[in-house]
C-alpha cells in the first residue's frame, strides 16, 4: 500500500489503517492455524434489515424494501475458536486500545474466508461495539479478483475502496456511521482471502483483554 492510499483511509471519518498489524511470528502462527481450520458456508438473507438496522436516507446506498444478503465461509472448529479467543484477540485488543484508550473488552474475531462468489452487501456495524476491525490475511491479491472492502459516504456520493493487503488492519470508530460492503469475489480469482472481523467495546459484554 502506498502512503497516498493510507492517508486517504486515515482521513476518512472514523477509519484508521495499520499496516503490518501482527508480528512476523504471529502471522506464521495465524496462517498455520488457517491451514488447519474447518469452515462452513454462511448464507444470509434478512428482509427487514434495510428498513431499520441498516437503513439509509440515500437511494444510492440502500432502500427499505431491499434484502440484505451475504455469502462467505466462517471457521467453526473448536481448535480455531480457542486460538482466536486466547491468542489473537488479546493482541488485537491491545492495538485497538492505542486508538481508543477506553476500550477494555473485545469480541474474539470471526475468521471469515472469501472464495469465488463470496460477498457482503452494504451494511453498518454500529450496534456491536464502539470499535470495529477488519484485518486482511492472504498470499497476495489483485484488484480485479473482487472481494474488495469499500466504504461509502452517508451522502452516497463518495466511495473508498481498500486493497486487501496482507496483514493490513482497518479500525473503525463506530460512532461514525460507516456504510461498507465487500464486492463479490470473481470466479477467476486464483486464491482465497481471509479476514478477521470483530468489535471492541467499553460497554458491550465482550471478553476482557485489559487486565
User: pLDDT tens digits, residue range 92-101?
Assistant: 999 988 888 8
| Model pTM score | 0.92
Distance between CA atoms of residues 169 and 154, nearest Å:
22
Q: Which residues have C-beta within 8 Å of that of residue 54, sequence separation ≥ 6?
A: 62, 68, 122, 123, 124
pLDDT over 80 at 55, yes or no:
no
Q: What is the number of other CB atoms lying within 10 angstroms of the CB of residue 175?
A: 12
pLDDT bracket for residue 105 (50, 70, 90) = confident
pLDDT over 90 at 103, yes or no:
no
Phi, psi (rounded to 5 degrees) for 2: -85, 165
Kindly state the cell numbers that stand for 123.
451494511
Query: Strand ranges (DSSP E) for 107-147?
Result: 110-114, 119-123, 131-137
Kindly state the cell numbers that stand for 127.
450496534
Q: What is the model's pLDDT at position 167?
A: 97
Q: Is the sign of the CA dihedral 169, 175, 178, 182 positive or negative?
A: positive
- Whole-Å CA distances, 162 to 2, 37, 62, 98, 197: 12, 26, 21, 22, 15
Are 74 and 166 within 8 A, CB to CB? no
**Residues shown for the chain:** 211
pLDDT bracket for residue 51 (50, 70, 90) = confident
Distance between CA atoms of residues 92 and 96, nearest Å:
6
pLDDT bracket for residue 204 (50, 70, 90) = low
Q: What is the model's pLDDT at position 1?
A: 67
Q: Which residues have C-beta within 8 Å of that of residue 102, sequence separation ≥ 6?
A: 130, 202
pLDDT bracket for residue 106 (50, 70, 90) = confident
Name the one residue in this structure whose C-alpha cell is 463479490.
184
Q: Which residues are bridge partners to 151 per DSSP?
A: 160, 180
Average pLDDT of span 7-22: 93
pLDDT bracket for residue 38 (50, 70, 90) = very high
Average pLDDT of span 137-154: 95
Amino acid at each position: 500500500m502506498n502512503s497516498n492510499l493510507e492517508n486517504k483511509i486515515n482521513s476518512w471519518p472514523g477509519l484508521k489503517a495499520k499496516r503490518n498489524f501482527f508480528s512476523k511470528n504471529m502471522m506464521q502462527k495465524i496462517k498455520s492455524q488457517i491451514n488447519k481450520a474447518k469452515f462452513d458456508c454462511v448464507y444470509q438473507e434478512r428482509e427487514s434489515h434495510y428498513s431499520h438496522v441498516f437503513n439509509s436516507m440515500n437511494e444510492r446506498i440502500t432502500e427499505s424494501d431491499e434484502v440484505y444478503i451475504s455469502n462467505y465461509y466462517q471457521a467453526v472448529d473448536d481448535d480455531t475458536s480457542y486460538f482466536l479467543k486466547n491468542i489473537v484477540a488479546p493482541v488485537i485488543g491491545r492495538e485497538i486500545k492505542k486508538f481508543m484508550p477506553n476500550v477494555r473488552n473485545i469480541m474474539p474475531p470471526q475468521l471469515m474466508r472469501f472464495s469465488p462468489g463470496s460477498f457482503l452487501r452494504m451494511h453498518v456495524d454500529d450496534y456491536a461495539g464502539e470499535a470495529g476491525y477488519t484485518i486482511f490475511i492472504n498470499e497476495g491479491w489483485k484488484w480485479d479478483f473482487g472481494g474488495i472492502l469499500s466504504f461509502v459516504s452517508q451522502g452516497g456520493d463518495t466511495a473508498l475502496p481498500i486493497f486487501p493487503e496482507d496483514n493490513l488492519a482497518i479500525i473503525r470508530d463506530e460512532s461514525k456511521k460507516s456504510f461498507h460492503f465487500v464486492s463479490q469475489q470473481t470466479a477467476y480469482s486464483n486464491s482465497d482471502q481471509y479476514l478477521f472481523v470483530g468489535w471492541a467495546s467499553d460497554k458491550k459484554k465482550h471478553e476482557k483483554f485489559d487486565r
